[in-house]
Structure formats: structure tokens, C-alpha cells
Structure 1
Amino acid sequence: MRTLPRALLPATLLLPLAASADELPAPLQALEAEGLEIHGRFEAPDGLTGYAASAGGRPMTVFVTEDGEHAVIGNLVDAEGQNLSQAPLDRLVRAPQDAETWAELADSAWIADGRDDADRVVYVFTDPNCPYCRQFWQAARPWVEAGKVQLRHVMVGILAADSPRKAVSLLAADDPSAALAAHEGGEPVEVLDALPRRLELALQDNHNLMDGLSLVATPGIVYRQDGLLKTAQGMPQQDTLTEILGPRP
């Protein structure tokens, strides 16, 4: 996910869309019939009315002319080149979508690494055969051990033929956190002969969640910044590491 600029419009200009479909301007009704979803409306300059919308999950803005007869799809830019569409999209489309995704991550099959009352939670799609996952685990020790960050390792098995069995075995361990820590410390995974079916299904759900976030490499990292979700893939550089985990303890 890209880095998002700060809000450009005050919250007072962002209005919930309480109107029923027959109260929408005719161009929006036509777009809705083609599959556009309207999430809310906001004030715009020069008699325009802005609508935050999405199509296939992709956010976009639509601006309706004052007479309600015409609509333009796209970003509105002011004389200074500022994108006036971003703030309403962040608040009316991205924020609710991100809250739903964060809840899905919380419900996924993950292994805790760090204190439950940590200041920050970071989700990490982790494959047991991923050397960069081990590097990230080691690099995060100062934050985790200081109680600043809890890593939640959303287990996946995508890198090698035995990755799924290792991932499920870690999830099924008597103490998954201890088992993962031992593995990241260099010990081999104790692979189970019989894998619990519910955890095999949970692993597939984790794969689907990773795909939905357009993550293709591990560690696949999901974190929050300014109320919105961001992602990173692979072992982060130092500046990205502190963005994800916060100032070094």
C-alpha cells in the first residue's frame, strides 16, 4: 500500500451518505447500476459535490455538477497541485476498509511474539522456511523485549513443499510462541505426523488474506500509520524498520 498524504479537507466537509438511491443525482444512479459503490459525499469547490466511491474495491472520487446532470470521475487538484480527492477517500473509503482488514487479521491464525499490552501491534505473514522472516524476527528483538511492539505472526506455507506442514505444526504446538521463538533461534520445527484439519483450513484462510492484501513475499508486514494500513514486503531497510516498529527503545 502506498504512503498516504495528510488530510487536505477538514472533517466538517465530509458528510455521511444517508440519502437513499433515488435521492442521488441521475449520473450517480447510472454509475451505481454499473457496479459503482457510493460511500459518502463531501463538499467541493465551484458548486461541485464530491462523492467518495469504489469499484471492485478501488477507491475513486466522482464530482457532480451543480445542476446534477453531469458527473466527472477522477481526482480534483487545486492551483497548488494538491489532490483534494485523497482526504475524503481516506476517511470515507480507505478507513472503513482498513478497519475491516485489521479485524480480519485479528481473527486469523497467528502466533504472538511480545506482550499483549504492547504499544503497537504489527502483523507479519511468516513462512517457516523464510530466512528474511528470521532476520526480521531478530531485528525486532529490541522493540519486542522492551514491550513496545507485539508481532503477530500470521503463519503461511508458500516457499517450500514442507512449509505448510511446518506452519501448521507451529500453530498446533502446546506453546506456539515458544515453538516459534525456538525455530527463529535456529531449532528445527517439530513436524506433526497428523495435522489438525481446522488449522489446515486456517492456514488456507491466511493464504487468502495474504493474497487479498496483494502481498507476494515474506515477511509480509502490515502495520498502521495515521489510522491507515500500510504494508511492506521482505526484510525492511533501517528507516522502514523504525517506521514499522517505532523509535528504537
Structure 2
Amino acid sequence: MLRRSLALTLFVGLPLMACSDAANTAPVAATGKPVDIEAYQKAAKAHGFSTGPVMASQTLYVFFDPACPHCAQLWANAKPLAKKLRIVWIPVGWLRPKSIEVGAAILSAPSPADAMEEHESKMLARTGTMTLPETVPEEAKAKLKANTDLFLSLRSESVPLIIYRNGKTGAHGRTEGAISADEIANLVGL
């Protein structure tokens, strides 16, 4: 029985170890490394949805998994920047099998931002997930799988993965975790 309990604990807990909060991950200094520039260019081609002004001077890309509570916290932390910064939220299906269905439902919703708000609010309150439609379009699942492959190609070890370009310095970088609004603003040079 003890062996089964330990195995269950490891099975349930290991995926969330790849889910990062700000307490465990400090922002990486902005660099002009080709790998960071390439990551920014790749993220720009991913399947996501935007919040904030379409014509904002800065765009931040966030790879998130719907099963990640730290991603939900980053969603909440980013709200004060809603009028200044365009954030492209890119769902991936990495932590749990259900992540693909939930992420695809968010991506294919009439208002992905509203669906994300419902889902992330429930995640933070620990009351479940968004209301899922009866069927999730296969096209949305395919987009989510493509996002997941892209995320894995970036060799990140956790979500949320934040990819940015600093508007003041032009430097590109990446960081992981549920960083604060002030830290986000600092990364992008707001």
C-alpha cells in the first residue's frame, strides 16, 4: 500500500514540478543571444490569442498549460498591464492529458480571453476548470499540439514560459514563472 501511495504521489506531483512560480525562478537578464531572438520569432508564429492593445509598442509571448496554477497566477498578475502591453497567450498540452482539450477549448472559444478568465479564475480558486463545450474542434486540438511541439523545441523546463523583447534596449530574453506586473514591465521596458 505504501509503495502504491508513493507511486501515486510521484505520478500526480511530477508534472507540476514543471510548473514554475516566481519564488523559484528569477527573471533571466535580457540578452541578444541568437537563441532568444529565434525563440521570439518562433513564438510570433504560434497559435494563441492576444490581450491588450493590438497596436501596443511591446508584445510579450506566454506559453501556458491550462493545468498549471502558476500560469493562472501569471494571468492574474498581468492584468494591470492590460492597457499598455499586448500579451499573446499560447496554450500547450504538456502537464496533463486534459490540457489539450482545455487549451483547445480556450483557443476556439468565441472570446478566448473570456474563456481564459473563467478557467484561470477557477484554477486560482481551486474549483475546477472552465465549462467545456460538448465537442472541441479537431483543428483547435491540432493547433494546440503544434504549440506544444514548438514549446518543446524551445527546450524550456517549465511553464509559464515568457518570451520577450525589451523595447528600450532591443534585447531579447526569456524567463519562467508567475512573475509580477512590475517584473513584466521591466522585462519589456515599459
Q: With structure 2 as the length reference, what TM-score do the two structures score?
A: 0.71
State the distance in 1 between where 2:80 and 2:28 align.
Answer: 27
Cα distance, 1:188 vs structure 2: 3.0
Q: Is 1:94 the equivalent of 2:29?
A: no
Given the superposition, is the C-alpha separation of residues 198 and 3 from structure 1 closer, same or farther in structure 2, using an over 3 Å criterion? same
Q: How do 1:1-40 residues align onto structure 2 when only pairs under 5 Å count?
A: 3=29
Counterpart of 1:200? 141
Identify which of 213, 216, 219 aligns with 2:160: 219
Equivalenced residues, count: 157
State the distance in 2 between where 1:142 and 1:206 align.
Answer: 26
Cα pair 1:111 1:154 within 8 Å, conserved: yes
Given the superposition, is the C-alpha separation of residues 191 and 121 from structure 1 closer, same or farther in structure 2, using an over 3 Å criterion? same
**Seq. identity, %:** 25
State which structure, 1 or 2, has the greater radius of gyration over its C-alpha atoms. 1
Greater strand proportion: 1
Name the SS of the counterpart of 1:128 in structure 2.
coil
Relative contact order: is structure 1 or structure 2 higher (C-alpha 8 Å, sep ≥ 6)? 2
Name the SS of the counterpart of 1:191 in structure 2.
coil
Name the SS of the counterpart of 2:96 in structure 1.
coil
Q: Which amino acid aligns with 1:3?
A: A
Q: Which amino acid aligns with 1:114?
A: G
Cα pair 2:105 2:133 within 8 Å, conserved: yes
Cα distance, 1:192 vs structure 2: 3.1
Given the superposition, is the C-alpha separation of residues 245 and 140 from structure 1 closer, same or farther in structure 2, using an over 3 Å criterion? farther
Cα distance, 1:245 vs structure 2: 4.8
| Structure 2: runs of 5 or more not aligned | 1-26, 123-127
State the distance in 1 between where 2:147 and 2:137 align.
Answer: 15
Identify which of 65, 68, 72 aligns with 1:127: 65
Cα distance, 1:239 vs structure 2: 6.5
User: Could you give the per-residue CA deviations for residues 72-130 of structure 1, whole angstroms, max 9, x where no partner exists?
Assistant: xxxxxxxxxxxxxxxxxx5xx828x72x5434322211021212122321100111121
